[in-house]
Structure 1
């Protein structure tokens, strides 16, 4: 299957739709890079000041308040770090790797969270090894972000299926869950760093943005496969060989 055939296999995977989305995300990259620098320094000052005040504070209530200030400043700092990954991602360190190893590492990392909420994690892979030249650490991070997104959508119970496959040009990793699905109006925005389909207070949509950023850095792509609706399935396609 060629790259064009792969993209046309899903309504949300059409080249025109990908192009519009990628142009929008490229503009958000520029915004994110500038905003990150402006916001990070004040957050660092707040965190360091709260930490310094904690050293000599003996009042339990004030210690709790200072600890809360520090924790929230550090939470903001972590969000800025995610924005910086989106705005200026590190170059992939390409090396021979196997998709099965990436999936196995991801499962090891995600199993504790899945067990805690009684969600079944299942891996479907061909008997033949799928080998590619890629950054295995980055792809593990990207696949983990897809699984974490599915876990948060399910919240409790359900099943998540990781499927490995390949075409003539691409290694394919997909994550499908039997949760509430992805609304049609959200398909074009779920990879935006400032989008969250979850209730307020549960964080921004940086996980899927990480996945898109890593896919782009490898010359690949990620998209929603709407052919399985109402189930939710997100596909990560990475070139088997580096693109020149």
Structure 2
């Protein structure tokens, strides 16, 4: 790919060339005009001198007397006198100037003056300038009818012209340099730098930076271009904001669809569990109650300690079956309740006190960082206490070696957010989406039925709230209860 020159380089080169050509043309035009005037003045002066020579030299001896002083002054460099028959009679020339080559005409009328100009003012510092002179042919003042040829040197005029040429060239270089430097400065400030800023801003847009630029200084066209650029940036920002809003809307819709799907799946599971629980209540509940009653009678009548222990174990296992049936019934068909205004923080502290008195929280330390009171929510006291007990026991079970359970609470708009955090092992990422499903548990067999969190979610959702979890493996878990605030007088 061919290398391209920049805007500044092209403009500077074009400007310098045009400016230099214009200055050189103007300077040498001035020199030529001056040279022409000087040459005309020298010709007129030499013509007067030649006529005076012709008038003051009636004889050859007088002519020599007049011409010798002129040769000493350096202007007259050669001369030749012809007789009437055009035979050379006298001649003189300096070493640097040859005699005129042209023989005069057969006769030269008195008073006539013929001149021949040999002139070159071209200045070349590497070569010697060619000689320049002015030749005159005229009738001598001799009665015999002689002809006189004179050659005058123009070297002083050529030297003067060369000095003028050098001076003009120096002025052109100096003045051109000053004008070019000023032009480059103005060009850089008013054109190149704004264009460079626009290019940098364009590269920033390509990288995702939609910041507008300020072009208060500069020509009107650059300012208009900057305004158009800022208008484009504003349109891109609006488009990006609109796109982000659409993406958020799609994400919200996707989340709502996912939640709706989860609710449908959960409803289907609950319906299945409800059918199973109803059947179990009728098919297992009544016989189980009879078995428990008979085991109690049998335990009371047995005297042997070993047999009595077997009866106790049988009662314990029968009780587990009874609790499982009741949990299934609670999950599948919880009793409807309109709820009542209650202080959720007070209920949570009651649950902590209840479990502490039972010794269920001896291995952990409860850290209460919630305020004394934040507001009321509408929910059944027993249901909310059941949710709190489940969350506290789950936090305890997540820390088999002991740890801290931190309770915090805050108000967010019209919602009360209560958080129960533990410092336990955390929940694996692939399990986070399943922990609220019925019968899903990560506990060892016999230590959990997988209904506690499912029941908690069902109860909180029925109260108009939401329960979420944040967790990382090895970093503990945080359960957030979000419930709408109720008015104090409700």
TM bracket (short chain): 0.7 to 0.9
The Cα offsets for residues 218-237 of structure 1, whole Å up to 9 and x where unpaired, read as 12221212489832111122
Output the CA distance in 1 between the equivalents of 2:443 and 2:352: 24
The Cα offsets for residues 169-225 of structure 1, whole Å up to 9 and x where unpaired, read as 322222110100011111122123312211112121232122112112212221212
Q: How has the CA–CA distance of structure 1 residues 227 and 203 changed in structure 2, closer, same or farther, with 3 Å as cutoff?
A: closer
Aligned counterpart, 2:478: 233
Task: Tell me, yes or no, if the aligned pair for 2:403 and 2:422 is still in contact at 8 Å.
Answer: yes
Q: How has the CA–CA distance of structure 1 residues 161 and 15 changed in structure 2, closer, same or farther, with 3 Å as cutoff?
A: farther
Aligned counterpart, 1:7: none
The Cα offsets for residues 141-185 of structure 1, whole Å up to 9 and x where unpaired, read as 212211110001112321111121222232222211010001111
CA RMSD of aligned residues (A): 2.6
Is 1:207 aligned to 2:448, yes or no? no
Aligned counterpart, 1:62: 307
Output the CA distance in 1 between the equivalents of 2:464 and 2:419: 17
TM-score w.r.t. length of structure 1: 0.82
TM-score w.r.t. length of structure 2: 0.43
Task: Tell me, yes or no, if the aligned pair for 2:408 and 2:419 is still in contact at 8 Å.
Answer: yes
The Cα offsets for residues 25-79 of structure 1, whole Å up to 9 and x where unpaired, read as 2222222222223233343233223223334333332222222112101111012
Pick from 30, 47, 65 the counterpart of residue 292 of structure 2.
Answer: 47
Within-5 A mapping of 1:110-189: 110-112=355-357, 113=359, 115-117=361-363, 119-126=364-371, 129-189=374-434
Pick from 78, 82, 93 the counterpart of residue 323 of structure 2.
Answer: 78
Aligned counterpart, 2:265: 24
Shift of 1:115: 4.8
User: Helix, strand or coil for the counterpart of 2:433?
Assistant: coil
In structure 2, runs of 5+ residues without a counterpart are: 1-254
Q: How has the CA–CA distance of structure 1 residues 218 and 114 changed in structure 2, closer, same or farther, with 3 Å as cutoff?
A: same
In structure 1, runs of 5+ residues without a counterpart are: 1-13
Greater relative contact order structure (CA < 8 Å, 6+ sep):
1
Q: How has the CA–CA distance of structure 1 residues 130 and 115 changed in structure 2, closer, same or farther, with 3 Å as cutoff?
A: same
Aligned pair count? 229
